[in-house]
Amino acid sequence: MTEAPRFAVREIALYERPVTLRLPFRFGVVTLTECPQAFARVRIEMPDGRSQWGAAAELMAPKWFDKNLQLSNEDNFEQLRAVLRLARVAYLADASLSTAFGHFARHHDSHAAAAAARGYNPLLAGYGPALIDRAVLDALCRAQGVSFYAALQANLPGIGGQRPEFAGLGIEDFLARLRPAGSIEARHTVGLLDAITAADLQERVGDGLPETLEEVIQAGGHRYFKLKVAGKVDADVARLAAIAAVLDRGRDPYFVSLDGNEQYENAAGVAELTAAVQATP
């Protein structure tokens, strides 16, 4: 077992950049055309005085973390900015050395409590530490000169004992057995507004990239798909049948999952959708 490096978190800088999507993307109750992308840069300091910066980025997707329809997209963005600032304050409040996981573990409960005091749900609250933790791990990998895979296999983050949830999991053995895949299948998500065939397009973006599900498959040979559903059984089944008509043309097996983004209120609704899909030729 390799002892996890310990270091101090010295600086955390937060940035944003505006992102415009090339195609509108609808999921759940929101149609996304643009949103900010959050960036975190973190400087860690090793015991020997060496410093290293790491970085991470994530879209600030509205209505994903808090689905309250009374909140505007800008309200959602402000929530995400707030939990990032809360996490930055927490991580910089303690300058003592710890492992990458130790920095997360020591601040988890206090950050969650601070976010809850503002009325933020746990999923929303976790956005801040998650982005900073990724930047911390990036800095650690750079400081040690290792890949993300090698760092996890050797458990350089020190995942384990600082949190009771990890007791008895045998995390060291699990990580040591990991092997990187030689290849990975790309999964394509079909949003609620996505064109299935060219006949569904009202006008083209014309940027040379695929604009329909048909074109995506032709260009990339995709076999794995996540299909958004809207919570209305008849309309969802009709759309799924149209998608299946395209997917069934391929010679290779394909794999799909359905994602309702909480548009089906309960398990009975999901069961109704499943039964309707199975009954549709």
pLDDT in tens, 16-47: 999 999 999 988 888 999 999 999 999 999 99
**Residues paired with residue 11 on neighbouring β-strands, in sequence order:** 43
The predicted pLDDT at position 1 comes to 54
Residue ranges of the chain with pLDDT lower than 50? none
| Among 259, 182, 185, CA closest to 220 | 185
Encode pLDDT of 75-89 as tens digits: 999 999 999 999 999
Class of domain 8-143: alpha beta
Q: 43: which residues sit within 8 A by CB, 6+ positions away? A: 9, 10, 11, 12, 51, 52, 53, 139
Choose among 18, 11, 84: nearest CA to 44. 11
The domain spans of the chain are 8-143, 187-279
